[in-house]
Amino acid sequence: MLGRNSISFKKRMNFVGVCLYNILLKSSRDRVTGIHFFQEMIVTLFDIIDILDAKVLVGRDQLNMEVRTAFSADLLSDVLAFAKAGSLLLTGLTNPQIVRTSSILDIAAIVLVRGKVAPDETLRLADELNIPILSTRYILFETSGRLYEHGIKGCVEKVGRDDYVSL
Amino acid sequence: MSFNYEQSFTIQGGNFTDAGVVSVFIKRTLQKMGIPSEILRRVAIATYESEINIISYARIGIIYIRVTPENIIINIDDEGPGIENIELAMRAGYSTADEKIREMGFGAGMGIPNIINCSDDFKLTSEVSKGTHLRILININTN
């Protein structure tokens, strides 16, 4: 009897726990609290290699680096205008400017998409400036989507003014 | 904290392979001085965009940077074609970039708007077929 009671008590508490969990999770998703209480996803470059079936071109010694946000673009002008420090840069560009731009912005690491392999001068510069470069055969859309599924978010959601009306 | 530093850098127009070298150097120098990272980021973006502009459009240009305890002043002077319509150049998305610049990933017309976003005070003057002068001021808020 006591055993049964204690199980149902446990079940009840479990139910309360799940409710609380959902409320907190929802509020954190809604950005009411801004803090994710549960399921804080930690994604490292090691995980990203798995997720994207990627190769490491530069920075084998930095693969335990954690990443939470990313920015995708093939236009460095836009990277400079919108990317945030500590983010991943997903791009199809391979020139040395991607490394210098990343260094200027404190980008954590670069992921080359569509199977791009960077020229030696880009790799040398990345090595010198300590910026890891991975390469994946997935296209930019797939790369972004797969990382999003694993909890990596855009470093910004939208840009421009709220009253912007598209024609 | 007190910061005191000034230096000038000459940049050759058309030297695309070295685009960004000066800005990365400036950023590292200021980082070592202990400039707060948010300020550092704005200075780095402003100098980098300016450097790209000189390389893309001008014959030669000089980036002068002065750091005082209160603010950072960046003066960019170039000899080149100048800007015909400053109002247009300041508009996001407007660009006169050629194929070479776009191939490198630049020329989306975000350069000057981005510099403006990074500055506390910004002045752009230009004389067609002579050159362009840019003055950028970024305050250091150490509070």
- CB burial of B49-84 (b: ≥16 within 10 Å; e: otherwise) equals bbbbbbbbbbebbebebebeeebbbbbbbbbbbbbe
Query: Domain A43-154: which topology?
Result: 3.40.1390
Which residue in chain B has the smallest CA separation from A125?
A: B21
pLDDT higher than threshold 60 for residue A53: yes
Domain count of the fold of chain B: 1
| DSSP-derived secondary structure letter, B110 | -
Rounded average pLDDT over B21-47? 94
Q: What is the pLDDT of residue B73?
A: 97
Q: For residue B131, which amino acid is it?
A: G
Q: In what order do the strands lie in the sheet with B60-67?
A: B5-12, B60-67, B71-79, B131-139, B121-127
pLDDT higher than threshold 50 for residue A26: yes
User: Cβ distance B49 to B111 under 8 Å?
Assistant: yes
* H or E element in which residue A82 lies: helix A76-82
Q: What is the pLDDT of residue B109?
A: 83
Query: pLDDT tens across B41-70, in order?
Result: 999 999 999 999 999 999 999 999 999 999
Higher-pLDDT residue of A23, A67: A67
Rounded average pLDDT over B26-37? 93
Task: Give the domain range for residue B61.
Answer: 5-139
Distance from CA of A26 to the nearest CA of B (A): 31
- N-to-C CA span, chain B: 10
pLDDT higher than threshold 70 for residue A5: no
Distance from CA of A10 to the nearest CA of B (A): 50
Residue B133 pLDDT class (50, 70, 90 cuts)? very high
Q: What is the pLDDT of residue B23?
A: 96
pLDDT higher than threshold 80 for residue A33: no
Q: What is the pLDDT of residue B125?
A: 94
Query: pLDDT tens across A103-142, in order?
Result: 999 999 999 999 999 999 999 999 999 999 999 999 999 9
All residues of chain A having their beta carbon less than 8 Å from the beta carbon of residue B109 are 77
Q: What is the pLDDT of residue A34?
A: 47
Numbered residues of chain A with Cβ closer than 8 Å to any chain B Cβ: 74-81, 85, 93, 95-98, 100-101, 103-106, 121, 129
| DSSP-derived secondary structure letter, A54 | P
Q: In what order do the strands lie in the sheet with A133-135?
A: A55-58, A133-135, A109-112, A88-91, A69-72, A153-154
Q: What is the pLDDT of residue A32?
A: 45
Residue range(s) of every CATH 3.40.1390.20 domain in chain A: 43-154
Q: What is the pLDDT of residue A160?
A: 77
Query: pLDDT tens across A54-111, in order?
Result: 999 999 999 999 999 999 999 998 999 899 999 999 999 999 999 999 999 999 999 9
The mean pLDDT of chain A is 84
Q: What is the pLDDT of residue B93?
A: 84
C-alpha–C-alpha distance, residues B113 and B51, integer Å = 15
Residue B101 pLDDT class (50, 70, 90 cuts)? confident
CATH of the domain at B24: 3.30.565.10
Q: What is the pLDDT of residue A8?
A: 62
